[in-house]
Every structure is written in structure tokens, then in C-alpha cells.
Structure 1
């Protein structure tokens, strides 16, 4: 019986985020395929949703995560000026709940998800995400 080789890992080195709906579709595809995700650099905003892939994700000593409250832009464009950002508490809560419980606690201990980036340094990332190759 021939077993297909596992799909190559997705390596994150500089991912500023993007749309939540698009990221959810990508995460569903990665989960279904069993694709591993390696965080090897900066992963912000919607990128942090990869944390939902428990058992399929690892981080290197270069990994840094950045969280903020999700928003939509009144004009629909990107980038979005601060005065045109619209924040929805229900979406912010859902975004927070998409992270593993220990990461949620880390975020909440630092004031929760706000308009400002909350950066998780590597020493903390590696408390919550397995070190790749370990």
C-alpha cells in the first residue's frame, strides 16, 4: 500500500494578517489536508488564527505574534485610516475565542484585544506553541 507523502508545511515568515473569512477557509483546508504550519517570523492579526491548528503548528525561535481587535473599514479599502475603522465587540470576542485558552488568558492579562497591536515575544510564543523539531 502506497501512502501519499504529507503535504509540505506552510512557513510563515512575514504575515501581517488579512481577512478573517479568507483565513478561516485556508485553515479548514490545511486542517483537512493535515498540512503543518511553521511560524518562523512575524505573524499578526488574522495570521494568529493558525493557532487553531493544534497538533499541526509549531514555532521557531524567530516567531513573534501580534494581536488586535478585528475591524472593518467604512470605505471597504485597505489600508484603512484609523478614523474609518469600525470595531464590533461580537467579532472581537469571536476572534479572542479562536485562540487556545492559555493564549486567551495571556491576551486578557494585557488588556484584551484593542485597536493597538499587542505583541507576544518569542519567549511567550514558545510557552504556547511547540518548538519546531523539538
Structure 2
């Protein structure tokens, strides 16, 4: 009887002392955006890792793809967080920008509903940069603790 109790106690102690996987956090302090591909690769890895994303400053353009890839319950925002959206565009051989309407539609469709709604209420994705911050942002994503 003692041996069984002792074994149960050891099993309980082992369970309580077992290492618990600790999730890391990815903190976005300032991202002006850039080429879409590297952001897609990065955020896919973040999604697979289970890490939390803390948006703690400007996350502009391609950086906002995090909203489409990482689950919303793993994203939080600070008071400094700003999300910047604009229509998709490419650069030709001469360095001139041109609109990519189909890509803009695809990106917009991939954003979570509340983000899409906010963008639509503010004129949609155009060449103009739309900035989501403050109360509007906190109404969509949790504040970081």
C-alpha cells in the first residue's frame, strides 16, 4: 500500500515538475513593410511555432499580412501600435509603381472580417495609406498585458 501511494506521489510530483513548453513572443517595433514574400515566410513560421505576436509600433504595408496568417487570439497590440494599409503595387523595370488590383482584392479578402470592415469604412485599399490605431485598433485586437 505504501509503495502504491509513494508511486502515485512520485508520478504527481513528476507531472508538476515536468517542463512546460514556453511560448516565445515576436515583437513588431517598427516595420515599414517591403516585399511580400519574406513576410509570408516569416509569419508562416510564427504561426507554426505557436508564438504570440506583439505589435508595439508601426506595422505597415506587407507587415500587416501578420493579421491574415497568425490567429487573432495570438496577436495583441500596445498603445504604440499602428497598422498601415494600402493597395497592392509592383515596380516595373524603370522603378515606376503600378497598381495590382487583383492582388489588392486577394489581400483584402484574407484580412479578418473586422479589419476588412474598417478598411471598407475608410475608403478601401487605394494608393493612400490608411492608418488603424488607438481605439479602433483596440476594438479589434486585445491590448497586450
Task: Return the TM-score normalized by structure 2.
Answer: 0.80
Partner in structure 1 of residue 83 of structure 2? 65
* 1:27 equivalent in alignment to 2:39: no
Take 2:109 and 2:142, find their aligned partners in 1: how far apart are those partners? 20
After TM superposition, which residue ranges in structure 1, 4 or more long, deviate above 6 angstroms?
A: none
Deviation at 1:13, TM superposition (A): 1.3
Partner in structure 2 of residue 108 of structure 1? 120
User: What RMSD, in angstroms, separates the aligned Cα atoms of the two structures?
Assistant: 1.5
Partner in structure 2 of residue 127 of structure 1? 139
Partner deviation per Cα, 1:28-65 (whole Å, 9 max, x = no partner): 11011011110011111011111122221100111111
Take 1:75 and 1:124, find their aligned partners in 2: how far apart are those partners? 39
Partner in structure 2 of residue 49 of structure 1? 65
Within 5 Å, which residues of 2 pair with 1:88-103?
88-103=100-115
Deviation at 1:116, TM superposition (A): 1.1
**Higher helix proportion (structure 1 or 2):** 2
Gaps of 5+ in 2: 1-17
Secondary structure of 1:2 counterpart: coil
The structure with more radius of gyration:
2
Gaps of 5+ in 1: none
Deviation at 1:73, TM superposition (A): 0.5
